[in-house]
Amino acid sequence: MLDTNNIHPMEELKGHLRQILQVIPPESNIYYLDYPVYSNGGDLLIMKGTEAFFRDNDIHVLARYSVLDCPLSLKVPDGVTIVLQGGGNFGDLYPAHQKLRERMIAQHPNHRIVILPQTMFYKSDIELKKTAQVFNRHKDVHFFVRDTVSYEIAKKEFHQTHVYLSPDMAHQLWPLRATGKPHTEMLYFFRKDIEKTKNQNQYESVSDPEAVFKDWETVYNRVDRKIIRMTHSWLKTGKGRSFACWLWYKYSDRMVHTAIKEFSKYKTVTTSRLHGHILACLLDQPNVLLDNSYGKNSNYYAAWTKNNPAGRLEANKSGGTGKSGIPERSGSSNPASEPVQGSGTIVLSDGAAL
């Protein structure tokens, strides 16, 4: 158990990640698979937290593959652990990533396989049963999940799998330092994809012309998207794969720095992105979290961040409106208007401190 006396809630969550060392001990040799090559800043934070965890604990990454360039029949040396990226894409919403996980399990029955903290969600019970059949044929899969709902499903369905409850890998980045003092009141950081809910419409209908609405796609620019397309092409074709991986790791450092710089402009963040919430918490920035379409955000908050005074969960689903047309919020009191910034630095893949 962690000693929680005089310890910041975010430091405590970072400490919880050390349980992963029970299955990937220091000095282990690993293959790291399914690192993200796209503009979702949340997944980039997970990747940077994961790499920091490897570096901080002397875990040796012998090879890295994304979903774009991982061979259909990957040959992994004996004694090497296969480690798969964490996140929120376990299930049938994002089939490419799920197929990669299941293929690795099916093809490597004698290797230890570790899936870093994930949220599970299946629209189809049939697809869940298919996944369970793959998992239940392997006796050395270690599955870390980010919330109690995922934990109960995995324990029930994956009989041969070792299942653990763990916070997100981005917590390894604690603490982050803001790039400057905030000068704008509020950032509305809302998702626009299949996980969007109607609840954020109350905020999006606000007529205040000074309201700032962003998502990852508007944090990043045309140059970022061009670099991503170019990296995609190189990885898919296999031409210059090593250079493409090197370039992406360098450039994704820049993209994480861009997100930190953007968030640092605001006194408060209201977000329906789980990693909008986590990034704000890493910066010790007051924030309000809205749920996503299937409860990922609220389940994560209940499991890990509810004790962090910087953030709180939006409790009012219907809601009236308050001053300036902003929906009134129920639950805990508003976060303080002035953020207390993180005092540490993050060392990214090129060794640069941000």
The mean-pLDDT minimum among 4-8, 87-91, 167-171, 315-319 falls in 315-319
Residue 141 has what pLDDT? 98
Under 8 Å CB-to-CB from 323, ≥6 apart: which residues?
none
Q: Please name the residues in contact with 46: beta carbons below 8 A apart, sequence gap of 6 or more.
A: 36, 85, 86, 87, 116, 168, 169, 170, 275
Which residues, other chains included, contact 233 with Cβ-Cβ below 8 Å and sequence gap of 6+? none
Structure tokens at 321: 């409106």
64 forms beta bridges with 32
Chain centre distance of CA 343: 22
Residue 76 has pLDDT above 50, yes or no: yes
Would you state the pLDDT for residue 336?
Answer: 31
- 277-302 burial code (b ≥16 CB/10 A, e <16): bbbbbbbbbbbbbbbbbbebbbbbbe
Q: Is the pLDDT assigned to residue 39 strictly greater than 50?
A: yes
The length of the chain is 354
Looking up tokens 């670099």 gives: 227
Is the per-residue pLDDT at 329 higher than 70?
no
Q: Is this prediction's pTM over 0.75? A: yes
Structure tokens at 271: 């977000």
61 in helix, strand or coil? strand
Res 351: pLDDT: 35
User: Quick check: 264 and 182 in contact, CB under 8 A?
Assistant: yes
Measuring CA to CA, how many Å separate 11 from each of 16, 147, 287?
A: 9, 18, 18
Q: Are 214 and 298 contacting, i.e. CB atoms less than 8 angstroms apart?
A: no
Return the percent helix, strand and coil in the chain, to nearest 5: 40, 20, 40
Residues 292-307 have pLDDT tens digits of 877 889 999 999 999 9
Q: Is the pLDDT of residue 345 over 80?
A: no
Residue 9 has pLDDT above 70, yes or no: yes
- Residue 316's pLDDT is 54
Average pLDDT over residues 304-320: 78
Tens-place pLDDT, residues 140-165: 999 999 999 999 999 999 999 999 99
Tokens 């089939």 identify what position?
Answer: 95
Averaged over 38-54, what is the pLDDT?
96
pLDDT 10s digits, 12-34: 999 999 999 999 999 999 999 99
Q: What is the pLDDT of residues 197-226, one digit of tens each?
A: 777 777 877 657 778 999 999 999 999 999
Higher pLDDT, 60 or 4: 60
Of 5 and 72, the structure prediction assigns the larger pLDDT to 72
| Helical pair 274-282 and 41-56, crossing angle rounded to 10 deg | 50
pLDDT value, residue 40: 92
Cis preceding-peptide flag for 71 (omega within 30 of 0): no
Q: What is the pLDDT of residues 260-290, one digit of tens each?
A: 999 999 999 999 999 999 999 999 999 999 9
Mean pLDDT, the chain, integer:
87
- DSSP letters of 95-133? HHHHHHHHHHHHH-TTS-EEEEEEEEE-S-HHHHHHHHH
Q: Which of 243, 197, 171 is nearest to 17 (CA)?
A: 171
* Segment holding 239, helix H or strand E: none
Question: Which structure tokens are listed for 251?
Answer: 């450039």
Matching residue, tokens 């710089």: 261
Supply φ then ψ for residue 40, to 5 degrees.
-80, 105
Residue 204: predicted pLDDT: 78
- Round to whole Å and give the CA distance between 29 and 96: 26
CB count within 10 Å of CB 167 equals: 25
**Separation CA 354–CA 340 (nearest Å):** 17
Residues 6+ apart with CB under 8 A from 192: 215, 217
What is the distance between the alpha carbons of residues 141 and 108, in angstroms, rounded to a whole number? Answer: 10
**266 SS3 class:** strand
